[in-house]
Amino acid sequence: TRCVVKTIVVDDELFARKMLVEQLEELSVGGIYEFDDGEMALEFVKKNQIECAFLDVQMPGVTGIDLARRLHEIDEEIKVVFITAHERYAYDAYQVNGISYLLKPYTKNDIEETVDKLYRIKPKPTEGKIRIKTFGGFEVYVEGERLSFSRSKSKELLALLVDKRGILLNNQQVAAYLWEDIPYDNNLKESLKKVNQALKASLKKAGIEDLLVDGYNKKGIDVTKIQCDYYDALEGKRGAFDAFQGDYLCCYSWAEISNAYLIQKQEIERGRWHDYVSDNL
């Protein structure tokens, strides 16, 4: 039995919107709420949990593509279906993690196939309680709460270990990244010790001290305990590059090589998708 929590349909064309709503109601797609304006739809979603969104791509003001991005900022699990008269928007739908798109003029059968696809997609399992954002800066969230750091260098140390993806670094290697050209003398060893202690204290306070792998003269993280946008992009997960603007760990100079690699990978992924769309038109 189908039962969606709430579904929104956003289309400024009255006839097309009413037809789609009528078809969805016949398919028993839970509660359906319709809007002719993206901003009104956003205000509704801020106050109500929804599962699916059918969005017209070409609307005045907020386009369907922009609306999808903003909806996913509210809830990344919302399943988005784009409504469009042009197949060229398929790549844009892919970039903002669209599930599917209805090509106008669509038929009742098209709508039913799309709804069936929505119900075959299961919600993503929770990938641990630690989420790390590396695009546009570095932030760590523990069960939705942002982790605070008592020292900026302890935050940078964790960012470095995230970048290394589980590879263990010795103290001298860590110091070379964090302080670059400063000689590794007793003063620097003491500074690193304090930074390490501060990081441990922050992680312990948040109840995630086991994230850190800290052996004798070796440091790393347990990558199985986190969900990270950087790792998703490296694995080629769909929509992983949505928030990437060439700004991976932009506060840290040592991240420039990884950032350049991501830029190159993003261009390759775009090329592959364009080739796929061209071959299937």
Q: What is the mean pLDDT of each run of 10 residues along the chain (281 residues)?
A: 67 91 81 91 87 90 88 86 72 59 82 79 56 94 92 96 92 94 93 95 93 83 92 83 89 94 85 46 42
Rounded-to-integer distance, Cα 70 and Cα 75, Å: 9
The angle subtended at Cα 164 by Cα 161 and Cα 168, nearest 5°, is 75
pLDDT at 97: 60
Three-class SS string for 34-49? EECCHHHHHHHHHHCC
* Residues in Cβ contact with 61 at an 8 Å cutoff, skipping those fewer than 6 apart: 37, 38, 39
Question: What number of other Cβ atoms are within 10 A of residue 269's Cβ?
Answer: 17
pLDDT at 133: 95
Helices assigned H by DSSP within the chain: 14-26, 38-47, 64-74, 90-95, 108-120, 152-163, 171-179, 186-205, 229-234, 256-280
DSSP-assigned beta bridge partners for residue 82 = 55, 101
SS3 content of the chain, % helix, strand, coil (to 5): 50, 15, 35
